[in-house]
């Protein structure tokens, strides 16, 4: 499906806003840009702009994301936004989800880069639902702004952005990078607090290596041998593990940033002694700059296999550390509202996957 043709509020660059404000005093552009990206304000609330100009901007530059539902976890520390997107050619639009994770003094936003995903990882609800379309730069940036507005209302400032929502960021890298530059340069987040994930799209990793900001790289690995990973992460057939590790090493050499391996722990599938040994060996190739995030598999309706029991997850972590690998068990957040890793499907139906 093609992208929308009409620009929305956060699609426009500073230069394009300058053209839109032709005839206005030059300082209006600074006021508008600061209001949108530093104050995180809607045009109607940028009070140093004239009322007529605010009304015009609000009318001519609508928001791209129409809020369908906002779900809050039982503990109140996770918020999931379900958005509907404008349809490029009319009719009903696609849907995406964004997750806001609240901590005592800060917040993290998990953003989507595509509506759906074409990578077809069977244990991930997004992959089960299939791919609809790429998101625009403005649609990605707007997720950050609107989630940040919610965080601000609760007294927190967003300090971290992770591209770990719906979609494969490296398959939409031009727009993901455009959003990253806006998040860094205009909203003001450090590149070291921005993480871009991938299931292992090697050309994307190599392209990211040559881009200027030292963002963090996260690889959704989940298996450390090609036979198993071919079943769990089908793109591995095109980009096998040895080549993927080489690309990660190149990234490390240029960026000097830590590479994280995401590992969804699945009972009897990738939580065995041999899995720990194979994973530790991969980490040693990138030592000391590789880190493993162990994620107890979250339930999805299309995947029949259960996650590893938490006690065994911690035992797997301990074994990795004995073998010389750095590992952390990631706390699941928002499982009760289907907001945890691998659960985002934007209400779309999923198809039943076979056990690896």
Cis upstream peptide for 195 (omega within 30°): no
Tokens standing for 191? 């590149």
Listed residue (81, 197, 195) closest to 139, CA to CA: 81
What is the distance between the alpha carbons of residues 268 and 63, in angstroms, rounded to a whole number? 46
How does DSSP assign 111-123, residue by residue?
--SEEE-SS--TT
Distance of CA 345 to the CA centre of its chain: 14
- What would you report as the CA-atom Rg of the chain, rounded to the nearest whole angstrom? 21
Element (H, E) at 137: helix 137-153
What is the distance between the alpha carbons of residues 15 and 18, in angstroms, rounded to a whole number? 5
Q: Which one from 110, 121, 248, 341 is the annotated catalytic residue?
A: 341
Name residues whose C-beta falls within 8 Å of residue 61's C-beta, 6 or more positions apart in sequence: 7, 8, 9, 12, 20, 43
Tokens standing for 181? 């530059």
The answer to whether residue 341 is catalytic is yes
Other CB atoms within a 10 A radius of the CB of residue 98 amount to: 25
What is the distance between the alpha carbons of residues 208 and 215, in angstroms, rounded to a whole number? 9
Report, as residue numbers or ranges, the catalytic residues: 97, 341
């Amino acid at each position: 499906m093609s992208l929308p043709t009409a620009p929305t509020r956060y699609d426009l660059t500073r230069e394009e806003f300058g053209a839109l404000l032709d005839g206005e005093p030059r300082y209006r552009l600074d006021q508008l840009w600061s209001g949108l990206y530093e104050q995180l304000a809607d045009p109607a609330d940028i009070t140093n702009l004239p009322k007529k100009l605010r009304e015009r901007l609000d009318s001519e530059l609508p928001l791209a994301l129409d809020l369908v539902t906002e779900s809050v976890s039982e503990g109140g520390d996770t918020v999931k936004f379900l958005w509907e997107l404008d349809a490029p050619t009319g009719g009903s639009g696609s849907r995406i989800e964004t997750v806001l994770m609240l901590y005592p003094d800060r917040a993290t936003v998990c953003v989507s880069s595509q509506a759906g995903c074409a990578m077809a990882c069977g244990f991930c609800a997004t992959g089960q639902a299939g791919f609809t379309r790429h998101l625009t730069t403005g649609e990605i940036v707007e997720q950050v702004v609107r989630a940040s507005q919610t965080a601000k209302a609760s007294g927190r400032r967003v300090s971290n952005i992770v591209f770990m929502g719906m979609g494969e960021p490296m398959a939409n890298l031009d727009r993901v990078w455009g959003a990253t530059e806006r998040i860094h340069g205009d909203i003001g987040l450090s590149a070291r607090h921005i993480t871009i994930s991938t299931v292992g799209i090697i050309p994307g990793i190599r392209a990211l290596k040559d881009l200027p900001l030292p963002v963090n790289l996260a690889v959704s690995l989940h298996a450390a041998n090609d036979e198993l990973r071919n079943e769990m992460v089908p793109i591995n057939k095109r980009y096998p593990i040895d080549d993927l590790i080489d690309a990660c090493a190149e990234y490390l050499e240029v960026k000097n940033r830590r590479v994280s391996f995401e590992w969804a722990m699945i009972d009897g599938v990738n939580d065995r002694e041999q899995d720990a040994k194979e994973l530790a060996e991969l980490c040693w190739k990138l030592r000391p700059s590789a880190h493993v995030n162990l994620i107890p598999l979250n339930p999805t309706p299309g995947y029949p296999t259960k996650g590893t029991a938490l006690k065994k997850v911690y035992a797997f972590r301990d074994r990795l550390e004995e073998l010389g690998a750095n590992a952390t068990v990631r706390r699941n957040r928002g499982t009760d509202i289907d907001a945890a890793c691998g659960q985002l499907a934007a209400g779309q139906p999923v198809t039943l996957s076979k056990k690896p």
